[in-house]
Amino acid sequence: MDSERPIPELMELYLDHLRIEKGLADNTLESYNGDMKRFAEFLKFSDISFIHDVDTPAIIRHLIRLRNAGMEARSRARHLVTLRGFFKYLVQEKILEANPAKRIDLPKSGLKLPDVLSVSEIAHLLSMPDIQKPSGLRNATMLELMYAAGLRVSELIHVKVQNVRLDAGYVQVFGKGAKERLVPFGQYAGQKIIAYLATARPLLLKQYQSPYLFIARAGKPMTRQGFWKLLRQYALTAGIHKPITPHCLRHSFASHLLEGGADLRSVQIMLGHVDISTTQIYTHVAREQLRILHEKYHPRG
């Protein structure tokens, strides 16, 4: 089968096609060749030997690696154009049935991947709160849950105690448009939640009552601004100088899952990015599969 031919050989065929059929200039061909070499190195690193094993999440992981290596958005956009052309050629030659790079958006301003923290930066950030203090344990639990479940800050501050299912390892979230979803949160966040509920939360509540998991003064829920202020303070203490927002933890959640090998659709479900036209596709993924996937791929699962 042509799809089982060595990947470097298929890349050479594509470059020959550009040289002969398209008549591209030498400097342009050199640029394409550089892109092909970078992609070939990634595939070798990922133990992908056959072209039919390259899927959309793999290409996204490659683009994330390029971004983490310092490649600018404009260069990554050009690189993606190269890959699109390569896979389009393979489809035209009936070597592949579909183009896995076609589904990746390419904004007119260039491919811009969201700012994310590395796994080590996340670990350092999450270790910053003083968990010996009630407020510190609350803050540590908020950071853990936000990263573990990829929550929006508005979702995090509105989580109620009854929304947390410790026995199953899920948090019930109501996202945009009041859409409900269940997201696994892993053992690290689970342990923090148990400790917080047992010790810190009662002390923070004092004589007040509140249905919300994370409470501030007088039993009121933490505000978006209050959490953002805490996050920036912990980032500075951790020596993280990247622009950091609550959404940065959500982006890191998604990026780290994809880098670890999770499939794109499962990540989209956990993020709550489900529009009407694709709901049926995404709901076929069993919740138990999501829990196992999270445990397997998430750095703090």
Which residues form the catalytic set?
A: 152, 176, 247, 250, 273, 282
Q: What is the DSSP string of the chain?
A: -GGGS-HHHHHHHHHHHHHHTS---HHHHHHHHHHHHHHHHHHHHTT--SGGG--HHHHHHHHHHHHHTT--HHHHHHHHHHHHHHHHHHHHTTS-SS-TTTTS---TT---PPP---HHHHHHHHT-S-TTSHHHHHHHHHHHHHHHHT--HHHHHT-BGGGEETTTTEEEEE-GGG-EEEEE-HHHHHHHHHHIIIIIHHHHHTT---SBSSB-GGGPBPPHHHHHHHHHHHHHHTT--S---HHHHHHHHHHHHHHHT--HHHHHHHHT---GGGHHHHTTS-HHHHHHHHHHHSTT-
